[in-house]
Structure 1
């Protein structure tokens, strides 16, 4: 493990200070104000106000760190900003590489956040920041580590963008093949969602009172489990089998579409074989569709902007905005020829398979990055501490 020094021994720690209220303005007069993490966006400053009086200023290249509420959030300063009470600036010393500092702060954010104190919201002080143990490495080794971590981070970013593009590709294919449901440019016949559901079943809600999580109970799918077009079972809850038995009508058979009706309204997920036997919560609508091509088509139809706007427009407010079964069953759906539904379903399967592969690769990159971080900041990335060998050896 590498030697360490206090952070304030190798960096300047500039604690922010709130300017006088009379000095604030929104007309661009004076210095842009970074009051707290609310003025951060995508790793860059996004100030909402200005001030004509500033006692603490950042410089270009400083790391501006959130120290209240969002402790550890950070941005890179690209100029002079007034530092408010909710932030501090870290200015790298001569023996510290700024990119190494940036990566180390991301790695150390949980440890800093754990120091937070306060009843209304957590905050840290100068000593909390200054006493953090910073790894003492040669400047050239810091730069090698920073380049390596930045490279893996860039790969993660590209992979995330690929996954995001695949998320939008399904809708692009849908609109290319069928057009916007509201306009129905091809003049397809239409039907209600209820008319397309299985005739021997019906669209319904799930369990009214889910109760407490019961070890060994029946899995219960909630609105929060409808993620990325599927049922995410990583945090699935369970209910008492005796309660679940009263709601057998909403038990999953493996051929349904699920729609969120409260909270994440309009979220859509396809049920898979692994979901068979689970039940759904009251805030989830279960739509039985036994035809697989139709099910794939309808799921994407329900995700279109037109249908999502319809859902929002039909919300009923009781304790909270709710999409009820009547609105769902009355949803108007274009019904293209079966052969087109089959072609679309085939494309969706291919997109989903490709996305799953990309997500797996992304998970591996996250694991690789975490391993590199841990070893790098403990001085264990290379057997000699990083002082010998080239970057080829590191790769």
Structure 2
């Protein structure tokens, strides 16, 4: 849809929205409750990929409301620190901590339009400029209020939102198809082998280091810029997220390999994230290319009795159990010894290969859907750039 931006209005966000900051009763542990009359305690962790926050994992006692900020269904939340500038629409009432700003919606905005506007790349760039200068980049009421936006009449807003909603529905549909295929792969694994942790089928078990060689990588010196101007793919743990690895964000040179502890690993090497933020630790990837890795990844090369595809899915099926094996007080990190000592079930190789054949068919379907998903994401980015720049 083409638009004439000469008809659009221009104003500061603070003149259009009543912006307030959340608050946290302290110590928060004294205010948490499981009681039926508890108040929803809305945290960053309650937000997902959806535009809506519809449920909360925790509640606080009513006495905590006066020490926090009560928000209502239909209000907009904006994260103000760390991953700042991410908008959400509330589908519940509750209280928010000081990691949130609430934008009480003015009548001149369509809800979906405002969501897409606040989440657009041009708007993020404006937020990022305002957030600079602190030790940790963050937003506050004044910084958000001083951001200038342009916006069309309500009927144009609704038409733009409808178009973007349609593209988002395509994206969500492709993601759902990928989730269904992953669920199918998991059900095939369980049907053929059972739960690898409890091992109800009584397969032979042994430490992984008996059936595979295990190594890691390194980070070449960032001070030597030329090291990162090569053509050798270099995998970071943040790129290991339960998927095949066909490409990497960064590439290094042979000189970087020679002057660090990096090694080049072959396709069918399994990479395990040994540490990292959030869900990263314990996630796994299967190399489809030759690549080096950083030191946060364990690189597993299977011996003859262990099929790489089976090994890759074994790690996925044991994700939660493997995460608990880590060492550390603040954050449980894994290391090569821990990874090597992980217990694996070892069914007959012919059965592992039969499983790998079935999975390869699923992965071919996923590859086609991933291409469609990337095309839809590109379309969304282009339309949002057009409407909100």
TM-score by length of 1: 0.72
What is the alpha-carbon distance in structure 1 between the residues aligned to residue 202 and residue 38 of structure 2? 58
RMSD: 4.3
Equivalence map 1:99-138=2 (5 Å): 99-107=112-120, 108-116=123-131, 119-121=134-136, 122-126=138-142, 128-129=144-145, 132-137=148-153
Q: In structure 2, how many angstroms separate the alpha carbons of the residues matched to 1:317 and 1:136?
A: 53
C-alpha change, 1:91 and 1:316, in structure 2 (3 Å) is closer
2:381 equivalent to 1:370: yes
Q: Tell me which residue corresponds to 1:390.
A: none
Match of 2:168 among 143, 153, 156: 153
Q: Are the equivalent residues in 2 in contact too, given 1:219–1:239 (CA < 8 A)?
A: no
Classify the secondary structure of the residue corresponding to 2:119. helix
| Pair 254,245 (structure 1): closer, same or farther in 2 beyond 3 Å | farther
Contact 1:205 1:283 in 2 (8 A): no
Equivalent-residue separation in structure 2 for 1:182 and 1:11 (angstroms): 55
Aligned residue number for residue 391 of structure 1: none
Instruction: Report how many residues are paired.
Output: 362
Matched, 1:321 2:333: yes
Distance 1:303 1:77 in 2: 33
TM-score, normalisation: structure 2? 0.73
Highest Rg: 1 or 2? 1
Deviation at 1:234, TM superposition (A): 2.4
SS at match of 1:287: strand
Determine the C-alpha separation between the residues in 2 that align with 1:117 and 1:287: 41
Q: Residues 211 and 305 of structure 2 are in contact (CA less than 8 Å); yes or no, is this contact kept in structure 1? A: no
Whether the 8 Å contact between 1:191 and 1:334 is mirrored in structure 2 is: yes
Give the aligned partner of residue 89 of structure 2.
76
Match status 1:62 vs 2:67: no
The one of 5, 10, 15 aligned to 2:10? 5
Matches of 1:287 and 1:327, distance apart in 2: 9
Alpha-carbon distance in 1 for matches of 2:25, 2:231? 58
Aligned partners of 2:77 and 2:103 also within 8 Å = yes
CA displacement, residues 155-183 of structure 1 (integer Å, 9 cap, x when unaligned): 22222222233333322211111112344
Tell me the secondary structure at the aligned position of residue 254 of structure 1. Answer: coil
Q: Go from structure 1 to structure 2 and tell me whether the alpha carbon gap of 1:190 and 1:66 turns closer, same or farther (over 3 Å shift).
A: closer
Instruction: Work out the CA distance in 2 between the residues paired with 1:189 and 1:232.
Output: 33
What displacement does 1:352 show? 1.0
Per-residue deviation, residues 320-376 of structure 1 (Å, max 9, x unmatched): 7333347516734322251x2232111111111111111111111111112222333
Instruction: Choose from 322, 338, 343 the match for 2:354.
Output: 343
Structure 1 residue 244 and structure 2 residue 233: aligned?
Answer: no
Partners of 1:285 and 1:79 in 2: how far apart? 42
Query: What residue ranges of structure 2 are gaps of 5+ in the alignment?
Result: none
